[in-house]
Amino acid sequence: GVMEKLGLGPEILLQENPRLIYARLTGFGQTGKLAKSAGHDINYLALSGVLSKLGRKDENPYAPVNLLADFAGGGVMCAMGIVIALYERTRSGKGQVIDASMVKGAAYLSSFLWKSQNLGLWNRPRGENLLDSGAPFYETYKTSDGKFMAVGAIEPQFYEQLIKGLGLDSGKLPSQLSFTDWPEMKKKFASIFAQKTQAEWCSIFDGTDACVTPVLSFDDVASYQHNKERSSFIKNDQEELSPRPAPLLSRTPAVPSFKRDPFTGEHTEEILLEYGFTKQEIAELNSDNVVEIGKTKANL
């Protein structure tokens, strides 16, 4: 209701321009009991059902920072809605309103969890299933130098290469899918991974299909050979590192900016001047806290 209070709700603006695409991105959505309630990523994730699936055995559910509801279920889903509406407009000539709720977006992202319930992938308690840290072959393991390796050897042929790289004999081990043996196998794998450095394990599994990769830190990710070859990370003119825009389009790839991020309010004055405001008017807007003008670096 914030935009309605300003007289800028979709009903008014769509009357002015019927081709307008109006995206409304919220946590709980435009309607319902919680529509006007405060919340954050963890709350939206909780109501979507996804949070109940995240976490290790005998531990509380945990939210993976604020990526799933805020950015994936919210931002990406909203952007996809805008793209869909733009495409539809080429046929109808009409705009529409997009209700992008982070709760519904996160829930829809988890469709795989819902649709695969009868496949035996999620029929055990949290932290005891194939992809939620229950399986010894889908887990992270600490190395002797305090770093980690990620293991995702689900398919039998990949699992066999994992076992070989660990120096084990599959003939002397329980079946890969023997759930009751998973806790012991995790301990065995952990003790073996702890005997070598991350670099040593990378060398052992390099060129194999064991689905074993290093867990890279932000400091290491740009120098990793594969990422370097793909130019997956870029530096701006302040030597600050960030991911290159994705996905990569063949004909019209995104052209990233190599300039530093603007400070909050850095360009307020020049933009308002471009739109015809006088310096006196801009000063009054600033003193009335209508706009922000400053050189303080953003905390985002």
Name, in order, each residue with C-beta under 8 angstroms of 204's C-beta and a sequence gap of 6 or more: 165, 196
* Active-site entry in 58, 70, 99, 181: 70
Eight-class DSSP state of 172: G
Structure tokens at 129: 């299933």
Computed from CA positions of residues 104, 4, 8, 289, in that sequence, does the dihedral angle turn out positive or negative? Answer: negative
Other C-beta atoms closer than 10 Å to the C-beta of 255 total: 7
User: Residues 40, 145, 220, 267: which is the catalytic one?
Assistant: 40
d(CA 24, CA 100): 6
Single-letter residue type at 92: S
Helices (H), the chain: 2-5, 10-16, 41-48, 77-92, 102-109, 111-115, 156-165, 182-193, 198-205, 225-230, 268-274, 279-287
Is 169 a residue of the active site? no
Backbone torsions φ then ψ of 34, nearest 5 degrees: -100, 10
Check if 40 is active-site.
yes
Residues designated as active site? 40, 70
